[in-house]
């Protein structure tokens, strides 16, 4: 692939357009604000130094998502012995209050389900696009979506069950 040098205006435009989305992906994959910021920075460094000539905006967006996902995978691999998940300030990054609980539940899932659920339900990508970005088969994406939904359903069912078993005090 041919690589080109990019102008400062083009780089700033790409950062403005994609940084929020890429940050959310990195946050979901890494579970830490600091690690997500580092991964985002590494992604844009790779964009400025290694990005190919893109055929269109979707190609550029898919390339950035794939690079961000790979950077996150590399960071997780590197930090395997030092697991850290900082979700105390998670609600600050949600679009609404209801999203906070859902995002926390997604964080509690194994890493293999987080990215596919986020890309499919939050970013709106189809199974084929996610498979290409994550470098897995479409069948694997479908299975991860299915299992991730099952795990979320189980988690919410268990919570609802706990609340139903709590005795209610009445004043008679």
Q: What is the DSSP string of 124-170?
A: ---HHHHHHHHTS-HHHHHHHHHHHHHHHHHHHHHHHHHHHHSPPP-
Q: What does the pLDDT read at residue 71?
A: 94
pLDDT of res. 170: 45
CA angle 65, 76, 44 (to 5 degrees): 35
CATH topology for the 1-86 domain = Rna Polymerase Sigma Factor; Chain: A (1.10.1740)
Per-residue burial over 118-130, b if 16 or more Cβ lie within 10 Å, else e, is bbbebeebebebb
Q: What is the pLDDT of residue 168?
A: 46
Question: In the chain, where does the domain assigned CATH 1.10.10.10 lie?
Answer: 93-164
Residues of the chain with CATH 1.10.1740.10: 1-86
Bridge-partner residues for 3, per DSSP? 52
Per residue in 47-72, is it b (16+ CB within 10 Å) or e — as a string? beeebeeeeeeeebbbbbbebbbbbb
Model pTM? 0.54
d(CA 60, CA 51): 9
pLDDT digits (tens, 9 = 90+) for 81-122: 544 444 444 445 555 555 556 667 777 788 788 888 888 887
Per-residue pLDDT of the chain (172 residues; tens, 9 = 90+): 556 678 889 899 999 999 999 999 999 888 889 899 999 999 999 999 888 889 999 999 999 999 999 999 888 887 665 444 444 444 455 555 555 566 677 777 887 888 888 888 877 889 998 888 888 999 999 999 999 999 888 877 765 555 454 554 444 4
Please check whether the domain covering 93-164 is classified as CATH 1.10.275.10.
no
């Amino acid at each position: 692939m041919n690589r080109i040098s990019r102008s400062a205006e083009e780089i700033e435009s790409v950062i403005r357009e994609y940084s929020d989305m890429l940050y959310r992906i990195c946050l979901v994959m890494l579970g830490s604000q600091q690690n997500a910021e580092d991964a985002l920075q590494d992604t844009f460094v790779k964009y400025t130094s290694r990005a190919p000539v893109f055929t269109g905006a979707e190609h550029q967006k898919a390339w950035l998502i794939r690079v961000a996902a790979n950077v996150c995978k590399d960071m997780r691999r590197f930090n395997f012995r030092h697991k850290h998940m900082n979700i105390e300030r998670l609600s600050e990054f949600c679009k609404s209050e209801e999203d906070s609980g859902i995002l926390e539940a997604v964080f509690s899932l194994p890493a293999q389900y987080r990215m596919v659920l986020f890309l499919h339900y939050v970013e709106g990508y189809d199974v084929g696009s996610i498979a290409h970005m994550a470098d897995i088969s479409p069948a694997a994406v479908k299975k991860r979506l299915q299992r991730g939904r099952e795990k979320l359903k189980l988690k919410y069912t268990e919570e609802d069950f706990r609340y139903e078993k709590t005795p209610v005090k009445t004043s008679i």
